[in-house]
Amino acid sequence: MSKQQIGVVGMAVMGRNLALNIESRGYSVSIFNRSSDKTDEVIAENPGKKLVPSYSIEEFVDSLEKPRRILLMVKAGEATDKTIASLMPHLDKGDILIDGGNTYFQDTIRRNRELSAQGINFIGTGVSGGEEGALKGPSIMPGGQKEAYELVAPILKEIAAQADGEPCVTYIGADGAGHYVKMVHNGIEYGDMQLIAEAYSLLKSSLNLSNQELAEVFSDWNQGELSSYLIEITADIFRKQDEDGKYLVDVILDEAANKGTGKWTSQSSLDLGIPVTLITESVFARYISSLKDQRVAASKLLSGPEIQPFNGDKAEFIEKVRRALYLGKIVSYAQGFQQLKAASDEYNWDLNYGEIAKIFRAGCIIRAQFLQKITDAYNETPAIANLLLAPYFKQIADEYQQALRDVVSYGVQNGIPTPTFSAAISYYDSYRSAVLPANLIQAQRDYFGAHTYKRTDKEGVFHTEWLD
C-alpha cells in the first residue's frame, strides 16, 4: 500500500482546512482525530479528495512515508503534550513533528529540547489567517531545526498565502522563534483592533455618523495608506444587518473576549524590559470591557463631561482621526518589532525583521499595505533601534503627531476613552525625551531602600543618607 506524504492530527476547523489546503496542492494526506466521528465527517464532506483516514495512532503513523511529516493541529498545552506522547512510541529518528497550534513559545522551546534529545525534529509553527487563511493560504512562521524546515519547506511554501509572487513563509529561527513571532503578531493584532475601535468610538460619538457613513469612511481609508484586512472587514461589519433589519454591530454586547496571546505578549515584554505600552493597553481595554455590570453601575454614579457635538469641519475631523490611527498603528508596530529584537538577543534567534514583515503582507490578520515600509526600513538599516527612527516613519510622525494630540485631547475633554491612542502619544513623547523625571524616582528608591544612583556630573555609583 502506498504511503502518504504528510499527516495531519486534529480535525477541528483549522486542522481540517489545512489538510484540504495541502491536498489541493497535489499532496496525499493522512488524517487522524482523537474522536473518529470528526474523521468520518471530513471524509464524507470531501469525496474524491486524496485524504486517507486513520483510526488509531499506530495506523496513522504507519501510513506515512519516511521521514514522516506530521502536522499537529490540536489544542495548545496539555493536549499537545498528550498527542506527542501518544505518537512517540511509533516514530523513528529523523521524523518531523510540526506544531501548528497557538502554542506558548516556552512550551515550544521545552518540546524542541526534549524531542531533539530523542532524535525527533520539532518545528513550532505559527499559523495566521483564521479558518479562511488555513484553507486558501495562511501566513506561516516556522521555527526549529533549519535542516528539518528544509524538508517541509516545499509544502509550506505551496500552501502559504502569496504576496507579490512570494510565499508568506520563511524560516524564523531556532526552537521557539516561530511561535514567539506568532505571539507578537497576535499582540499587534490586539493593538490594531483596539485602535480601530477607538477611531470608531470617536467618529460615532462626536459626529454621530450612521453605520452606512462609517462604512464609507472605512472603505475610503482602505484605499490609502491604512489599506489592510482589518480596515476592510470593519467596513463590511458596519454594513451588516440581521434578519430584523437591525445593524448587527449595534446589538453586539460590548464585551471583547480573548484567548490569552495578547497577555503573553505583554508578559514577555515585561520579562524583557521592553515598553510595549500600546499592546498592553489593548489587552487591558478588553479586560475592562468585560466588567460590563460594573461599568453600567459606575455610569450612574461617577461624573464626567458630557460629549459635546462636534461643530467644526467634519471632513477635517475625520482626517485627524485617520492620521491618529495610522500613527498609532506605526507606534504599535515599532514597539512590537522592538520586542522581537530584544527576544532575538535573549534567545539567540537571529531574527530577520524585514523578512518577518514580508510574510505578514498576506494571509494573516494584520496584513496591511504598510508592512512593505517596515521591510524597506530594515533592508536599509538592519540594526535600526526603533522603526520610528526610519525616514518614512519619522516623516509620518512629524506630519501626523498633531492630529494624534488633537484627537487624544478631544477624547479626554469629552470623556471618550482612548487608551491606545493615549498610549501611542505618551510613548512617542517619552521616547523622544532626552531627559525624563526618572531621576526623582531613583532618588526615592535610594531614600527608602538604599538602592543607589548614578550621577550626571561624575562617574560611579552613589548612596545618600537622606535624613542627615
Task: Read off the amino acid at residue 252.
Answer: I
CA angle 339, 147, 141 (to 5 degrees): 35
The one catalytic residue in 23, 189, 198, 281 is 189
The answer to whether 103 and 179 have CB atoms below 8 angstroms apart is yes
Cell of residue 182, nine digits:
506568532
DSSP state of 67: S
Tell me the angle at which helices 419-431 and 391-414 cross, rounded to the nearest 10 degrees: 130
Residue 383's φ and ψ, nearest 5 degrees, are -100, 20
CA distances from 55 to 20, 21, 258, 320, 372 (A): 18, 22, 34, 58, 45
Q: Detail the residues annotated as belonging to a binding site for substrate.
A: 102, 128-130, 185-186, 190, 259, 286, 445, 451
d(CA 395, CA 132): 36
Q: Detail the residues annotated as belonging to a binding site.
A: 10-15, 33-35, 74-76, 102, 128-130, 185-186, 190, 259, 286, 445, 451
d(CA 110, CA 116): 10
Residue found by looking up cell 489593548 in the block: 282
Does the active-site annotation cover 263?
Answer: no
Residue 72's φ and ψ, nearest 5 degrees, are -95, 120
**23 Cβ neighbours under 8 A, 6+ residues apart:** 29, 49, 50, 51
How many Cβ atoms are within 10 Å of 415's Cβ, its own excluded? 13
The one catalytic residue in 182, 263, 329, 373 is 182
The answer to whether 128 and 363 have CB atoms below 8 angstroms apart is yes
**410 Cβ neighbours under 8 A, 6+ residues apart:** 202, 206, 416
Does the active-site annotation cover 78?
Answer: no
Beta strands at 96-99 and 162-163: parallel, antiparallel or unpaired: unpaired
Cell of residue 79, nine digits:
493536549
Q: Which residues are catalytic?
A: 182, 189
